[in-house]
Amino acid sequence: MLDVDLVAERGRFRLEARFRAPTPGVTALFGPSGAGKSTLVHALAGLIAARGRIALGAECWLDSARGLAVPAERRGIGYVFQDARLFPHLSVAGNLRYGARRARAATPVVREDEVVALLGLGALLARRTAHLSGGERQRVALGRALLSQPRLLLLDEPLAAIDGARRDEVLPYLERLRDALAIPMLYVSHQYDEVLRLATEVVLVAGGRTVAAGTPAALSLDPRLRPVVGGDAIGAVLEAEVGPLDPASGLASVAIGAGRLRLALPGAKPGDRLRLQILARDVILATEAPRGLSVRNALEGRLEELVPEGPDEMLAVIELGGPRVLARITRAAADELRLRPGLGVWALVKAASLRGHAYTRHA
Amino acid sequence: MLSAEEWQALRVSVCVAGGSVAISLPFAVPVAWLLVRARFAGRSLLDAFVHLPAVLPPVAIGYLLLVLFGVRGPLGGWLYATFGLRLAFTTAGAALASAVMSFPMMVRAMRLSLEGIHPGLEEAARTLGAGPLDRFLSVTLPLMAPGILAGVVTAFAAGLGEFGAVITFASNIPGETRTLPLALYSAIETPHGEAAAARLATLSIALGFAGLLSAEFLARRLRARLGG
């Protein structure tokens, strides 16, 4: 468990952060630009002064009450910067070795050949850093941080400086690290899709404070998340397991509460863990069982809550026997259907619009 | 081609220039670092003090050195009593005088290169477990190398040619403190010394060229190594 309760100041900006992150796992520090995420990771790494307490399990890096503040170079916290910060006077191999030589851990957690294989660095080792692509630079920076045998890995928007196509090149490597290594990671991002793909836990940072925390699924229903992700990205996140595949259609069946969704999941095997985002704008709400529709997925549930969203729209929270989905509807429709909490409803989901992030199950 | 005295002047010049670089280098690197990276009270005062020799008349610097490092001066007296080291009117003294004169140039060259190094690289080294001295030696110093080289070359070239401070503090003693410019000056002052003066002037030009060309060559090789 990573335990953080600190106050840090950078110029006039004041950050107050309090959260606990389960370890191992990837905890995303998610929030808009300027929210204080970067200040927070700088304070965690010890690169700027902070007051309060930071502890990972039995190891304490900051405890102002006891006058303890371990300097950055002795925290054993790996840091992957947005701009990679590779040493230009060293080759790729030299950069990797820089951290490895100074590792404080008595027994290495990751070996060099393992890191080189995981991050696909073999062909780059002899290269100078100046001519690497953005994606390659970040992979080398990741490898360098990992080989310093960190107790905790901080990733400060490692994909922000990379263009879209290259980002998709680096993301799978991050997923591999998450699934293969037991090093706890804090992943800073203002991209919700990255967070949904990588995080096992999310801490929402806004206006210099940690506002809310929880699993991606729990946080997806939290009203405090909505202004941060913006209207079109609002939607329930569900954790599920891939069920049997239908041999005829090739669609996978996924249990959601009492109901089932059928959807195309290329490459997924029964038993795989699945994180599914169902956008509120893609859910249609019906008060009767639908008939004669092309929509394959109708989930029966109960209307739990109606939340006004702007002047014309409302957000319906639909309970599906455990999990919940969100549906965006117009105020006019809500009035016409005489929607009220407690009403039995159907949530219709178009399979083609679902976003699924499958990942391997942790041992 | 050159007379024995002219060879001697060349040898003295090289010794004085080399000595001046050896004296100023160990101070210039930390001073440049302090001026660029450190935040402390009195930084502008240090900055001004470092640049003083660039704006004072060289003769005034020579005079101040004489006052401080003369055998009866506070520092010179102590050096003589403790180590038996005499600076005034010696090659070492000439080296000291040209070291003081070229110090601002040397610091400036290093500052420029240090300012070009992203401080984030030192931060990165820190998160990888490098302490302050380790960071400086493993990251900052290698990246400063082109600036250090430029500083050394300009200071060496300036040391070959320093006149005012040297003649005031160390005088014009053949074989001891008579460097190329002092020999050139003496030749001009001597009747029928025109040929010698021409040879010494030509020699100075050749040395200057050689210095600049080799500096450029070394800088290019260093930049290539740094991947720039």
DSSP one-letter code for A145: H
C-alpha A99/C-alpha B128 separation (Å) is 5
Which of A47, A88, A98 lies nearest to residue B143, judging by beta carbons? A88
Do residues A253 and A162 share a domain?
Answer: no
Q: What percent of chain B has pLDDT over 90?
A: 75
For residue B54, the Cα-to-chain-centroid distance in whole angstroms is 12
Do residues A44 and A185 share a domain?
Answer: yes
> Please, what is the Cα angle at A324 between A297 and A302, to 5 degrees?
80
- B129 contacts chain A (CB < 8 A): yes
Do residues A165 and A91 share a domain?
Answer: yes
Q: What's the CATH code of the domain at A173?
A: 3.40.50.300
CB contact under 8 A, B228 and A99: no
Which of A221, A243, A270 delimits the end of a domain? A221
pLDDT digits (tens, 9 = 90+) for A231-282: 788 999 998 888 888 888 888 888 888 888 888 887 778 888 888 889 999 8
Residue A100 lies in a domain: yes
> Is the torsion defined by CA of B101, B106, B107, B112 positive or negative?
positive
Nearest to A340 by CA among A287, A292, A294: A287
Which of A221, A247, A279 delimits the end of a domain? A221
Which of B120, B130, B142 lies nearest to residue A102, judging by beta carbons? B130
Residue A130 lies in a domain: yes
Residue with tokens 């070009």: B116
Q: Identify the contact set of chain A against chain B, taking CB-CB distances under 8 A.
A: 45, 47, 72-79, 81, 83, 85, 87-89, 98-99, 102-104, 128-131, 144-145, 148
C-alpha B144/C-alpha B131 separation (Å) is 18
Residue with tokens 């080289």: B149
Are A151 and A59 contacting, i.e. CB atoms less than 8 angstroms apart?
yes
Average of per-residue pLDDT across B146-172: 91
Q: Which domain holds residue A352?
A: 235-359
Do residues A129 and A252 share a domain?
Answer: no
Residue A226 lies in a domain: no
C-alpha A233/C-alpha A167 separation (Å) is 19
C-alpha A42/C-alpha A23 separation (Å) is 20
Terminal C-alpha separation, chain A: 18
C-alpha A111/C-alpha B206 separation (Å) is 56
Task: Name the residue type at position B221.
Answer: R
Q: What's the CATH code of the domain at A256?
A: 2.40.50.100
Do residues A51 and A105 share a domain?
Answer: yes
Do residues A325 and A266 share a domain?
Answer: yes
DSSP one-letter code for A299: E
Length of chain B: 228
Residue A230 lies in a domain: no
Report ipTM (2 d.p.).
0.84
Average of per-residue pLDDT across A343-352: 87
Instruction: List CB contacts (< 8 A) between B39 and chain A.
Output: none
pLDDT digits (tens, 9 = 90+) for B108-132: 999 999 999 999 999 999 999 999 9
Instruction: List CB contacts (< 8 A) between A85 and chain B.
Output: 118, 120-121, 123-124
Measured between CA atoms, the residue of chain B closest to residue A74 is B129
> Which strand ranges, in their side-by-side order, compose the sheet holding A50-56?
A68-69, A59-63, A50-56, A2-10, A13-21, A209-214, A201-206, A26-30, A185-189, A152-156, A77-80
Quote the minimal CA–CA distance from A33 to chain B in Å: 20
CB contact under 8 A, A89 and B134: no
- If one counts the domains in chain A, the total is 2
User: DSSP readout, A69-107?
Assistant: E--GGGT-EEEE-TT----TTSBHHHHHHHHHHT---SS
Mean pLDDT across chain A: 89
Instruction: Write down the pLDDT at residue A361.
Output: 44
CB contact under 8 A, B125 and A98: yes
Chain pair A-B, CB pairs under 8 angstroms: 69
What are phi and psi for residue B49, nearest 5 degrees? -60, -40
Do residues A324 and A204 share a domain?
Answer: no
Do residues A214 and A273 share a domain?
Answer: no
| Residues contacting residue B155 through CB under 8 Å, at least 6 positions apart | B17, B20, B21, B24, B25, B28, B99, B102, B103, B105, B106
Residue A229 lies in a domain: no
Q: Contacts for B206-215 with beta carbons within 8 Å, 24 or more apart?
A: B207/B157, B207/B160, B207/B180, B208/B157, B208/B160, B211/B153, B211/B156, B211/B157, B211/B160, B212/B153, B212/B157, B214/B153, B215/B149, B215/B150, B215/B153, B215/B154
Which of A76, A87, A103 lies nearest to residue B121, judging by beta carbons? A87
Instruction: List CB contacts (< 8 A) between A99 and chain B.
Output: 128-129
- B125 contacts chain A (CB < 8 A): yes
Domains in chain B, CATH or no CATH each:
4-225 (1.10.3720.10)
Do residues A215 and A188 share a domain?
Answer: yes
Do residues A93 and A217 share a domain?
Answer: yes
C-alpha A66/C-alpha A69 separation (Å) is 9
Do residues A61 and A86 share a domain?
Answer: yes
Do residues A282 and A176 share a domain?
Answer: no
Q: Helices marked H in chain A — which ranges?
A: 37-45, 92-101, 112-118, 134-147, 164-180, 192-198, 216-220, 226-229, 331-336
Which of A193, A221, A249 delimits the end of a domain? A221
Nearest to A114 by CA among A162, A194, A182: A182
Instruction: Write down the pLDDT at residue A363.
Output: 32
pLDDT digits (tens, 9 = 90+) for A278-319: 999 989 999 988 887 766 788 999 999 999 988 899 999 999
Residue A227 lies in a domain: no
Which range (A45-49, A88-92, A103-107, B178-182) has the least confidence?
A103-107
